[in-house]
Amino acid sequence: MTKHLRRYASIYGAMWRNSVAREMQYKTNFLLWIVVELLWFALQLAFVEVIYQHTDRIGDWTKWQVVLLAGTSHFIQQIFTALFLVNCANLSELVRTGKMDFLLLLPVNTRFVVSLRQVDLGGFINAFSALAVVAYSLIKLNLSPTFIQIICYLLLCAVAVLAHFSLMSILASVCFWTTRAQSLVWSYYNLFHVSRLPDSAFTGHFRTLFTFCIPMLLVANVPAKLLATTLENTRPVLWLFISVLACFISSEIVWRHALKRYSSASS
């Protein structure tokens, strides 16, 4: 087991090195993308400031709690972008061009290679800016999280990233039936905007949809509430873990069925 994990860690390290080399070939594009993401994040924070010029609370969320939520959501989004987004978006091209043939021939798990072969290093840099906003909002809230709180927060963020990957993987796998599925992938990416909003802003069917069907109101709200000490009970945490497990198992089932639909370039 240890040897198996060491082998996959070595393969992933090689993919990291290839990604770094690729990014360094286009340094200007790399830096511009970071600047664009920082500006976009600044606009989101400016929007929060505008909203709270007209109200003191959104439901039971204060201004700096919403800033904490926005920072958490952005952190999760950027880690997901760094690790998975490009790979999910490029799956359609691998299927359309037949390049999937070469990946299927590799003596490693195909989903592992397809999902992780490219890394967007700019996402990690932008994730640090999100953490800076989270830290600043905690200062404004006069909160000093314990070490255990920080570890649990990061764990919940990791679970949230896995939720996004599982759901986007399901949509990306549609390309095995339709050849192209980029529109579905990017449509899901736009749903990230929902996770930046307080769950108190939603009622009725929309809250049910984005909590139990598509857990967008859980992925960022739960970690933010944990850090802000406003999590009243453990039920949201439990439901987040259950939702993510269900999403991941579903994505694995869809992936295996999708591979059976694949026709190689030579067929």
pLDDT digits (tens, 9 = 90+) for 109-141: 989 999 998 888 888 999 999 999 999 999 999
Q: Which of 24-28, 81-85, 100-104, 152-156 has the lowest mean pLDDT?
A: 24-28
Q: Is the dihedral of CA 62, 207, 247, 114 positive or negative?
A: negative
- Tell me the average pLDDT across 221-248: 91
Domain residues of the chain, as ranges?
2-261
Residue-level pLDDT at 71: 95
**Is 25 a residue whose pLDDT tops 90?**
no
pTM: 0.91
Instruction: Return the pLDDT at 265.
Output: 58
> Which alpha helices (H) appear in the chain, and where do they start and end?
2-25, 27-51, 63-80, 86-97, 100-104, 110-116, 121-140, 147-172, 175-178, 182-190, 192-195, 204-208, 216-219, 221-227, 235-261
Is the pLDDT at 183 greater than 80? The verdict is: no
pLDDT of res. 126: 92
